[in-house]
Amino acid sequence: MKIDLPLKLQRRFEAALRSSTLERDVVWPLSKFSERFEAPEAEMRRVLASAHRKGLVERVAADRFRILGIAKRGVKSVHAHTQKQALQPSSQVREVSIEPASQEVAEQLAVHVGAPVYRFARTRCIEDLPLANQVNYLPFAVCPGLEDHDVSQSSFQELLEEEYAVVLTDAVERLAMVPATAQDASVLGVPPDTPLLEIARLALSATARPVVWAILHVNPQGYQYVAELWPTAAELLARKTSS
């Protein structure tokens, strides 16, 4: 697994966007970006590819990009929503690792099989109840250094926005009932094969590129919170509990 990303150049580029020293909605060729940041075109191309995924620039031709800047948030943070409901959200980070993308992960995130991705596993809690066993997958280029941050008492989404200039503007969710795995049973304290609500959520940037693929297995004891946190799940849960 090869990790090849000019991190210092990426940080300088994103800092320029944050400070608005790059004019929005103008189109520059790759050569102008390379000249502006005094960087080889090969390195600048990799940075712009990451910026396109994050929604910071829009590719208008092979080597021409429109500067979009930092987008407005379009997806509400679950952490912020639970706080608004006067609940006490927290999470226990169990693992943050870099691994080669499997076929499934590669398809969801639109990366090559074997490309470096972060696997971010944690236990989501509300009012000290283990609410969900959650695993997030992100392309490495989106958030290099993710392993250095503690999000046990803060919002993962806000970390992406503030530290990595990643703003989630849309999400596609798939809901299903699935049997608890051995890991679910250990994390959530439920018997193996207990029916759980699975929420598979693909979060997109302003350029409609996949940024985060999250899979949550929800504790049945926490279903009282789910209709508030994931309104799209309310109908499915209503059918399940009435059957």
Q: Are residues 96 and 208 in the same domain?
A: yes
Q: Is residue 171 part of a domain?
A: yes
Q: Are residues 120 and 195 in the same domain?
A: yes
Residue 215, CA distances (Å) to 24, 47, 89, 110 in order: 35, 28, 18, 17
Give dist(CA 156, CA 152) in Å, integer.
9
Q: Is residue 73 part of a domain?
A: no
Collect all residues with Cβ–Cβ distance below 8 Å to 75 and sequence separation of at least 6: 157, 168, 169, 170, 171, 203
Give dist(CA 226, CA 78) in Å, integer.
11
Mean pLDDT, each 10-residue run in order, the chain (243 residues)? 82 91 93 96 95 95 93 61 60 92 97 95 88 95 89 81 91 92 95 93 95 94 74 67 54
Give dist(CA 181, CA 160) in Å, integer.
29
DSSP 18-31: HTT-S-TT-EEEHH
Give dist(CA 76, CA 106) in Å, integer.
25
Q: Are residues 141 and 225 in the same domain?
A: yes
Angle among Cα 81, 85, 91 to the nearest 5 degrees reads 55
Q: Is residue 149 part of a domain?
A: yes
Q: What is the pLDDT of residue 115?
A: 94
Count, residues in the chain: 243
Q: Is residue 142 part of a domain?
A: yes
Give dist(CA 19, CA 23) in Å, integer.
10
Q: Are residues 121 and 235 in the same domain?
A: yes
Q: Are residues 58 and 141 in the same domain?
A: no
Q: What is the pLDDT of residue 109?
A: 98
Long-range contacts of 225-234 (CB under 8 A, 24+ apart): 225/82, 225/87, 225/126, 225/131, 226/197, 228/81, 228/85, 229/78, 229/81, 229/82, 230/173, 230/175, 230/199, 232/173, 232/175, 233/175, 233/197, 233/199
Q: Is residue 2 part of a domain?
A: no
Q: What is the pLDDT of residue 33?
A: 97
Q: What is the pLDDT of residue 227?
A: 67
Q: Are residues 165 and 191 in the same domain?
A: yes
Q: Are residues 83 and 165 in the same domain?
A: yes
Q: Are residues 185 and 85 in the same domain?
A: yes
Q: What is the pLDDT of residue 71?
A: 83
User: Residue 102 — φ and ψ, nearest 5°?
Assistant: -75, 175
Domain housing 29: 7-67
Q: Are residues 16 and 91 in the same domain?
A: no
Q: Is residue 43 part of a domain?
A: yes
CATH number for the domain spanning 50: value is 1.10.10.10
CATH number for the domain spanning 172: value is 3.40.1410.10
Q: Are residues 99 and 198 in the same domain?
A: yes
For the chain, what is the domain count? 2
- Of 67, 95, 116, the one marking the end of a domain is 67
- What amino acid is encoded at 209 in this protein? R
Q: Are residues 26 and 145 in the same domain?
A: no
Q: Is residue 72 part of a domain?
A: no
Token pair recorded at residue 231: 């309104």
Q: What is the pLDDT of residue 79?
A: 47
Q: Are residues 128 and 168 in the same domain?
A: yes
192 DSSP 8-state letter:
T
Q: Is residue 222 part of a domain?
A: yes
Q: What is the pLDDT of residue 137?
A: 98
Q: Which of 242, 96, 125 is nearest to 189 (CA)?
A: 125
